[in-house]
A and B are shown apart, each in its own frame.
Chain A
Amino acid sequence: MHSLKTIFRLSLQDYSHERLLSACAILGLAAVLAPLLVLFGVKSGIINTMVDRLIKDPRNLEITPIGSGRYGQEWFSAEARRAGVAFVIPQTRSIAASMVIYNPNGGQPRTLGVDLIPTGAGDPLLEKWGRIPAEDTAVVLSASAARKLNVADQQAVVGRVGRSVSGRKEQVTVDLKVAAVLPLEAFPRDAAFVRLALLEATEDYRDGFGSQVFGWPGKPRPTGSRDYPSFRLYARSIYDVAAVRDQLLSQGLEVYTRAEEIEVIQSLDRSFTIIFRLISLVAVCGYFASMASNILANVNRKSRHLGVTRLIGFSTGSIVWFPVVQSMATSVLGTAAAAGLYLIADLTINRTFARYLAEGEHVCRLAAGHLLFAFILTLALSMLASAYAAFRVAKIEPSEVIRDV
């Protein structure tokens, strides 16, 4: 034990005595490792930012039907239960799903025709950017609609629905309250997100029926199950989009998704990973060879001194650590230097691209785990690189080397 400890110290004292050579070895390692860390950092930073944007953006989860169909209550309950589906809600006929919103407040009264979009508990779009309307008379306005109407959150507005019954124009109104205003990126058109009840009442009114809920005149709608021409559907995650899409396609539906864009990024990630691995492999092989030859040359140069340690009586089992300890020291200090260089590069790169990035996004990013992995890998490779040198040390015959001058 003392013998091993003494050899460790001996090895480190030699390492620090030959500080110029040791510094070269450390810089040699840092010169290989730092660019790899930066490359990997940029790869994972860019890909993660893109993937994060994909994942965090509910619009990428949306599966939009093209054209119209007939979807009954049963279809909706089946879809809602399907694994991979986060949210599904019926959409009424698009021609009937509109309303004029009137803002009587402020200097100049304004009106705007908006699309009505159904929403309800679990709507990812509103959960991210707005608030789910709690009452049938609450609306969430898109940014453009709110701007044109000059209304803000919590303001009261009036909704107007018109119809023409045998040539005669009729109109009903409903007092609404703005529950939230979506940011611009959430929805591009003039739209109001409302609960399904208001949409159904609007459609019924246009069909000539009345609504008890909103007190609109007309004969009641005949009872019986209702079919819807369309729907809003969101997958649970971007990884579910393709499967849900394929399932809908198999039902004969035409749908639009952003699956292609997601796949582009995923394949970009895979390609980057392959390129990164190739570069790493070449760099690691080169470094391994140069490190192994360095250590071996060092051991050969010191064979006399190592012979003397045997002559003094240090065991083979402890002397073999002499080159190993030095290469471990190189890997610790070299990784630290590489990490330092990486951090400088990380700060510079992220600062350069700061204006293209949202809060918490990075162009260059390395998790602590990745750094730790790089260190452990370097340490293991260094020890492996010194294995042959250690073997040579074990074979040193004191009687052959101690009298060399």
Chain B
Amino acid sequence: MSNSSIQAVGRGEIVELPAPGLLEAPRVFHLQGISKHWPGDHGFKLTVPHLTIRRGEKLALVGFSGCGKSTLLDLLAMVLRPDEAARFAFFPTPEENLDVAVAWQRKDLDGLARARMRHMGYVLQTGGLFPFLSVRDNISLSRQGLGLPAQNAVETAAERLGIERHLDKFPSQLSVGERQRVAIARAMAHEPSVVIADEPTASLDPINADEIMAVFTELVEEKGVTLIVATHEWERVEKGNFRRLEFHLKKNTPHGIVRATVSG
């Protein structure tokens, strides 16, 4: 029953804006028949009939609060278990292939965590930095967890983001904008193949937001990193040549459940 209604929504309204030249690039994510359901009176169900994300792509999940952006990000970050997953493949490098659906079935949380640590960076809207670690230690966290040398990479990342003079300070001594720069540096310092950012500029003033977004996109382009950003402000990322992915919502009035669908 739900399948047919999703198909109906999906067919007419999904907007895909593939970036030119990227269609041939190898895939990073390949999802099919994914769904995540939160039961309850004001329940919510996200369905992803199919989604392919290619290497080096910049993808923007656009939609207002509560549309399922964060849910999709968490599914992609492999911290949220999908209820259904016909196919969920993550290709951290062109040679590697992680079957996320199977890993969840096997409850191989450590395997997922390892892949996350090695190949992903995550930028949160606010905070997410450890208040008890210096900026330097915050940025080098993933590298230390991986046993990689930290010194140069941390300083290079800090320089690119203009926070090199704050390396020995604590997050509480920085402005919100500076903290977001640190968060981006932390997500990038271990040279991941995918960076996921959840509203990375939503708590910043427009000028700071544009500036940070610009340096962020510049950095991912330079490194060939795949960037997936969730945002409610399409204007913020428009200039950055992002592929736009929209969420389509439908409210089932009798039960009050919100159904969101996204494909691309």
Contacts and interface: CB of A to CB of B under 8 A. Distances in A.
Contact of B130 (A10, A317, A405): A10
Contact of A312 (B70, B137, B142, B147): B142
A313 B145 CA distance: 8
Interface in A7-29: 9-10, 13-14, 16-18
Contact of B145 (A2, A13, A305, A402): A2
Nearest to B122: A311
A1 interface: yes
Contacts of A310: 79, 113
Contact of A14 (B115, B118, B132): B132
Contacts of A5: 144
A311 B115 CA distance: 11
B79 A403 contact: no
A398 interface: yes
Contact of A17 (B116, B128, B131): B131
A317 B74 CA distance: 21
Interface in A297-313: 304-305, 308, 310-313
A403 B133 contact: no
Interface residues of A, number: 29
A164 interface: no
A314 B113 contact: yes
A270 B132 CA distance: 50
B130 A314 contact: no
Contacts of B130: 10, 14, 305, 308
Given A18-B132, A405-B127, A399 B74 contact: yes
A313 B198 contact: no
Given A10-B130, A399-B79, A405-B127, A313 B142 contact: yes
B109 A316 contact: yes
A18 B172 CA distance: 14
Interface in A316-332: 316-317
Contacts, number: 81
Q: Is the interface of A mostly helix, strand, loop or mixed?
A: helix
Contacts of B126: 405
B143 to A, nearest CB: 9
A3 interface: yes
A6 interface: yes
B80 A6 contact: no
B77 interface: yes
Contacts of B80: 397, 399
Nearest to B110: A315
Contacts of A315: 109-110, 113-114
B125 interface: yes
Interface in B173-203: 198
A316 B77 CA distance: 16
A1 B124 CA distance: 27
B31 interface: no
Contacts of A6: 141, 144-145
Given A1-B147, A310-B113, A10 B133 contact: yes
Closest 6 CB pairs of A and B: A313-B117, A17-B132, A2-B147, A313-B116, A399-B74, A398-B79
15 contacts: A3-B145, A16-B132, A17-B131, A310-B113, A311-B79, A311-B116, A312-B117, A313-B116, A313-B120, A397-B79, A399-B74, A402-B128, A403-B124, A403-B125, A403-B198
